[in-house]
């Protein structure tokens, strides 16, 4: 078992010891924690790490992670820009009741 001090200096974004339980939950498969960590890395500019965690959560049908992942694909943030893949993730999030994704999908309809 490694100590927090041994590991934390190698992280791409500073994470406080208070965030360690969330990171451990994410690592154990908790979709909510994976989404939180993915968004944390995304807002910190660590896009590759963000994509990894968002994909983990999205594959477990976490609607917020699906919407964030779709946004990343549409903007090319951390992944090659792919409007089709982005739209797919946003549509899945909308189908799961994500309000922002639903508004995004409604915005695509001709007025």
pLDDT category, 5, cuts 50, 70, 90?
Answer: low
CATH number at 72 reads 1.25.40.10
Residue 11 has pLDDT above 70, yes or no: no
pLDDT of residue 24: 87
Could you read off the pLDDT of 15-24 as tens digits, one per residue? 777 888 888 8
Average pLDDT of span 77-103: 96
Phi, psi (rounded to 5 degrees) for 68: -65, -45
- State the residue range of the domain holding 58: 4-107
Q: What SS3 class is residue 35?
A: helix
Model pLDDT for residues 24-83, shown as the tens digit of each residue: 899 899 999 999 999 988 988 889 889 999 999 999 999 999 999 999 999 999 999 999
Q: How many domains does the chain have?
A: 1
Q: Please give the Cα distance from 70 to 93 (Å, whole number).
A: 9
Give the pTM: 0.85
Q: Exposed, middle or buried by CB within 10 Å (0-12, 13-18, 19+), for 77?
A: middle
pLDDT at 13: 65
């Amino acid at each position: 078992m490694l100590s927090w001090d041994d590991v934390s200096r190698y992280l791409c974004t500073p994470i406080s010891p208070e965030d360690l339980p969330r990171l451990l939950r994410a690592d154990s498969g908790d979709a909510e924690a994976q989404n939180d960590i993915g968004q944390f890395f995304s807002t910190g500019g660590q896009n590759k790490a963000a994509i990894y965690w968002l994909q983990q959560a999205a594959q477990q049908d976490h609607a917020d992670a699906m919407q964030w992942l779709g946004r990343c694909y549409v903007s090319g943030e951390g992944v090659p820009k792919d409007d089709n893949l982005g739209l797919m993730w946003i549509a899945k999030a909308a189908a799961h009741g994500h309000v922002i994704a639903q508004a995004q999908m409604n915005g695509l309809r001709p007025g």
